[in-house]
Amino acid sequence: MYDPSMRVLTVLELLGSRGRVSGTELAAELEVSVRTVQRYVARLQDLGIPVTSTRGPGGSYRLRPGFRLPPLMFGTEEALAVALGLDALTQLGLGAVAPATAGVKAKLERVLPESVRAHVDALRGVLELEKPRWVVEADTATLTKLATAVHTCRRVRFGYTARDGTASERVVEPLGVMQHEGRWFVAGHCALRRALRLFRVDRVGSALLLSETFRRPEGFEMAAFLYSTIAFAPAPWRVEVWLALTPEEAEARWSHAKAVLEPEADGTRLRCGVTDLDAFAVSLLYLGCRLVVREPHELRDAFCAVARRAQAAAAGST
């Protein structure tokens, strides 16, 4: 929890970043009463900060137009959060922003008091960040353009290289950008395929924002679309299994991005694409529940093969 002086500075930061904020919003943000917010604002005014207010319904606080905030002031936890966030950018496939990261770190060090800087450096020295095994770097400029297109609902044209190396030019209405298991993805309606498609950002080249806009469809959820698309990525086997688990239990034990999970008859139906039936059978056994194989029948053969290997291992034979 912040001490009162840090809460006053937080009010100043919120007013500077949001422009106009109601007392109710500030109270909710700081987890204090509206009356306490009024005291914080009065303290800022006593310090010469030009905070103005409007009363009545829709009343709010704001800084006088043209007022410039003083240099940033960080507490130890805030400075550590910023420093670790900068260190972790490479884990998100954004290593290309390293020069900008170095600049931000230099600015952070300049504004930190010596005691805070020393404490943060000491903590960073004992907190080790390991880069995930599977991280595919994404071009920051391309990612920025795609995110801008999503935000502004503008079409974007880009070159795309498919899994098999086939190159094509796409015009897409982008609906979301998401990082998943070391890769960045963008989803949107593709004019070439006339359907929703998922694209890997590291395979996108020469992205160009177009002037044409589009209307975002209601109810689209980026995470749900990505998970269902990946679950049914091209694979030699399509699997459907019923699990004696509630949907909540199934979701806790099985990754969303590996299958589509749907409630069915006091259990859960699992559907996905699979490349290795034996490995998939072993994964299902780890769930520790009763299950029924719907398709393919080859999955039953895979369970038999796994059982034979397990019996041989238990008997100590080779």
Q: Evaluate whether residue 68 is within a structural domain.
A: no
Q: Evaluate whether residue 71 is within a structural domain.
A: no
pLDDT tens figures, 66-106: 776 656 667 778 888 888 888 777 677 776 666 667 667 77
Residues 116, 155 within the same domain: no
Tell me the average pLDDT across 9-14: 80
Residues 38, 92 within the same domain: no
Residues 154, 213 within the same domain: yes
Those residues with Cβ within 8 angstroms of residue 131's Cβ, 6 or more apart along the chain or in another chain: 90, 91
Q: Residue 305 is part of which domain span?
A: 232-314
Q: What is the pLDDT of residue 1?
A: 42
Residues 249, 274 within the same domain: yes
The mean pLDDT of the chain is: 86
Q: What is the pLDDT of residue 318?
A: 55
Q: Evaluate whether residue 89 is within a structural domain.
A: yes
Cα 52 to Cα 41: distance, rounded to the nearest angstrom: 9
pLDDT tens figures, 114-158: 878 888 888 888 887 777 677 788 888 899 999 999 999 999 999
Name the token pair of 5.
């002086």
Q: Is the dihedral of CA 174, 179, 181, 183 positive or negative?
A: positive
Cα 302 to Cα 160: distance, rounded to the nearest angstrom: 37
Specify the number of domains making up the chain.
4
Tell me the average pLDDT across 249-257: 85
Name the token pair of 16.
């500077």
Task: Give residue 313's pLDDT band: very low, low, confident or very high (50, 70, 90).
Answer: very high
Query: What is the DSSP secondary structure assignment for residue 239, as one 8-state letter?
Result: E
Tell me the average pLDDT across 171-177: 96
Residues 148, 213 within the same domain: yes
Q: What is the pLDDT of residue 73?
A: 66
Tell me the average pLDDT across 274-298: 94
CATH of the domain at 284: 3.30.70
